[in-house]
Amino acid sequence: MNTPQENTQITPSDEFIKSILAGRVNEKIEELEAELLTLEQVEMPVEHRFINGMYVREITIPKGTILTGAVHKFDYVDIMLGGDIAVATPDGVKRFKGVNIMDGKAGRKRAGYAYEDTRWISVHKTDASNPDNIVDILTVRTMAEFEGLPISDKQLATENKGDQL
């Protein structure tokens, strides 16, 4: 005779749940990125600006584009100048239209789909001024690379800082 198993209900913290789900989302985004790299790539010219210890990177994401981003080592500012895009992060999928200004958080992998041409700017604090190596200074490609960085080479994302991407 089978006896019913006792159900034990636990209430894990929100941070615990997010950390579990984030790992799987990051893994899925990296799998998507690997698949996308086997396809014809969409040209997205980058405009670089360096001024007073800031680096400003501007791209236009063409309508119909699926893209993934690098993992930032440091917090930064994202400014969407216009368009319509869905962005997937470990915190879920958010759809943005029009103008948006957001906190960009270190240690996140993102993927997006542009419903319309979308102009996007990210602003970074740095003394670097060479567009040829700026990506290597500010980002890594994978979460494993980010996790492997010495703590002095990355700024961990902090919790509860408003609208986070």
Domains and CATH numbers, the chain: 14-150 (2.60.120.10)
Whether this model's pTM surpasses 0.75: yes
pLDDT digits (tens, 9 = 90+) for 24-70: 888 889 999 999 999 999 999 999 999 999 999 999 999 999 999 99
CA angle 5, 6, 12 (to 5 degrees): 125
